[in-house]
Structure 1
């Protein structure tokens, strides 16, 4: 099961309701349900959010309560019920750019999150056609929005991993490799660990160990370094970029910063790469 992500308070509620005795009943109920969920009482919290939707149909918290219900149902392994809730959200008139609240995210993105969750649900139950349908919806119809390059990079990696997983399930191994390869090397902005796990499955399915070893050796042999210190290597018939700044994500290599030239540092990154290191 996925890691649960709940939508908590509205910014307006935090800013203007400092004392509990001045807060509205729907806000107090919503807060109590969030506390239940944070204490891992997921079933009780789900029942509470379902009742919240009945008791406060016009609440400003309704979209968040609706979304949280879907998350909690999924956490309780009620996959079909969760899918029904997320589908309802896609049909609802919720404000996609409503302020998220807090510093990590800008917008609530109810439809982006719901479409992404539906893609994960259908991938989980191996309905790859529906998984692809909802991933495309999250990607094209309700795209992720954020001001931070790190978060946008993380989303791009997530989508590539999801597309790769779906294509693998459909038996489209070459297509899976193609969509994930651009994220083979860490950029230093966001982790690609989960993507690499899926990509390695695709590579092993497509190539023999001898072929992967030859391709890895070719990547080192064909290394080119541009004026910014970034590397270009050929792997699986594609030219890929290794960003020099990513060196500092490898403590052992970064320690050689003053001893190695740029190419040596980049080659050291290839040799330490979670996939390449197995074929050298």
Structure 2
């Protein structure tokens, strides 16, 4: 999930000077983009995706917390401790994407955040641009998904764009816009929009590599339809604890165990000090698990 954009850049976080991530394990035969040398050095190796793909990125505490509750909107920053290596990986994953899909709750929680590679790790901006030039990709487009209605900023992205979607509950979002007075459109159909429809709409815009930094509920919807391909999980060396306030893990709104487990395979593991950067591939589900009600 996104970190607070008000966090100041940390000195010495240029890819060339950042202590490289230590590669602990890498599955052989993974796709490779051929990262620019500075990015490959900082990441501790190469990175790539076979498209079309949907991949998620989270930072979690040791006890599995990814969000601290509504009174703590900057959960990602608190959990990660604004670790420079985590911010670099966030930027790298965004740089590899055609689109970044977020949920309305994520936008409300971090209204000043920009879901772009340069924003989260500005020191690596020239290298991110070099990577995107080599991939022949523009800056990743931000898309906002809302379970109840289409949302988009009233300035640069009119909601008429969303109305072309059947039913229109997803709209392109300029991530510079805060969620103070979003334009809304209530679809005529009251049936829940399938995530497969959302991804199909993104594909019509040429977005085949989709990164989601949405919250646990959005991940639950993707997993519920068997549409999540990979999960990047940063494990932060902090204990968050739980008391009266709900503090979800990676998935919300979907029960898998014991009847419908979603197994994964570890395909990459890296380390920086006491932080672990893990990459998992979801095993192909048979028809996808059903959403819990």
Fold shared, TM-score > 0.5 on shorter chain? no
Q: Which has the higher helix share?
A: 1
Which protein is bigger by CA-based radius of gyration?
Answer: 1
